[in-house]
Amino acid sequence: MKKQLRQENHQKIAIVTGGASGIGLSIARKFTNNGIYTIIIGRDKKKLDTAVDDMKPLAECIVCDLSQLNCISHFISEIMDKHHHIDILVNNAGINLKKSMIEVSDEEFQKIILTNLTSVFALSREVAKIMLKQKSGCILNISSMSAHYGLPKVIAYTASKAGIEGLTRGMAVELSPFGIRVNCIAPGFIRTEMSSSALDKDPERKQKVLSRTPMGKLGMPEDIAKAALFLVSDNASFITGTVLPVDGGNVIGF
């Protein structure tokens, strides 16, 4: 009876990186609307504050450039001092670079890998240490269609997102025996600032995206948020190590 009461009173704590805009904001909103206290991470304080205002009282923000890897353990300690546990981590923050392969410098390639992949590993490792002590938790990564088929002019992004899917499987086999589920969503083409800047300037590419998406439209951030809530909930209690395309069928489109 006591245990049941404790479980009912347990306030779930989530971290959503890049939670002040686009897909991350939609995931954070979905979590707070479902009673999950959500800490959003980003670089732009103004954007973060606006998002938190919108989700009060179940949200707070931390300003951190995740590519500065040494900041990660500091903010995780801050979160633990205040909340004492972390139940959900969504690795959503990401950047893109649209350029022909031969024009991408080593520094540019490295920057994308650092933000989209190395920081995901570093943050997941720190959170996994806590989840292992708790013997519970969910980690959800966000990859991309670029990890599933060849997309021209996004070479560094593609490498980072293919890495995310490998990381998902690697973490899942190490952590799942201890009650921690690790999954990944591969969004199709979703209407956000990131995709608008990539697609609106390139009508031919946009047409190609739409023509190979059986549902014939771009997705909305809310479509990803609904799948995210499912994957971190008990409804997905036997699902780990999986990559779920949420893409209107884009990955199987002709």
Question: Does residue 23 belong to the site contacting ligand NDP (CB under 6 A)?
Answer: yes
CB of 27 closer than 8 Å to CB of 92:
yes
Shortest spacing between CB 25 and ligand NDP, in angstroms: 7
Degrees (nearest 5) of the Cα angle 135, 136, 142? 135
92-111 binders of ligand NDP (CB under 6 A): 92-95
Which one, 43 or 153, has the nearer CB to ligand NDP? 43
Cβ nearer to ligand NDP, comparing 194 with 251: 194
- Residue pair 127/182 in contact by the 8 Å Cβ criterion: no
Let me know: does 61 contact 40? Beta carbons within 8 Å. yes
For the bound state, the minimum distance from the C-beta of residue 96 to ligand NDP, rounded and expressed in Å, comes to 6
Give the DSSP H/E element, type plus range, for residue 141: strand 137-142
The CA-CA-CA angle for residues 64, 173, 87, to 5°, reads 45
Instruction: Tell the smallest beta-carbon distance from residue 49 to ligand NDP (Å).
Output: 11
Binding ligand NDP (rule: CB under 6 A), the pick from 32, 38, 168, 192 is 192
Residue 43 in the binding site for ligand NDP (CB under 6 A)? yes
Told to check if 18 binds ligand NDP by CB under 6 A, we report yes
How far apart are the C-alpha atoms of 144 and 169, rounded to whole Å? 15
Select from 139, 137, 136, 106 the least CA-distant residue to 120: 139
Among 15, 66, 180, 231, binds ligand NDP (CB under 6 A): 66
Contact (Cβ atoms closer than 8 angstroms) between residue 188 and residue 248: yes
Among 163, 187, 245, 248, binds ligand NDP (CB under 6 A): 187
The only residue of 67, 168, 240, 250 in contact with ligand NDP, by rule CB under 6 A: 67
Question: Using CB under 6 A, which of the segments 28-36, 43-51, 80-88, 129-137 binds ligand NDP?
Answer: 43-51
Region class of 61: left (phi > 0), else alpha (psi between -120 and 50), else beta: beta
Total residues contacting ligand NDP (rule CB under 6 A)?
Answer: 29
Residues tagged active-site:
157
What are the residues whose beta carbons fall under 8 Å from the beta carbon of 150, sequence distance 6 or more? 158
- What is the contact surface with ligand NDP in residues (CB under 6 A)? 17-18, 20-24, 41-44, 47, 65-67, 92-95, 115, 142, 144, 187, 189-190, 192-195
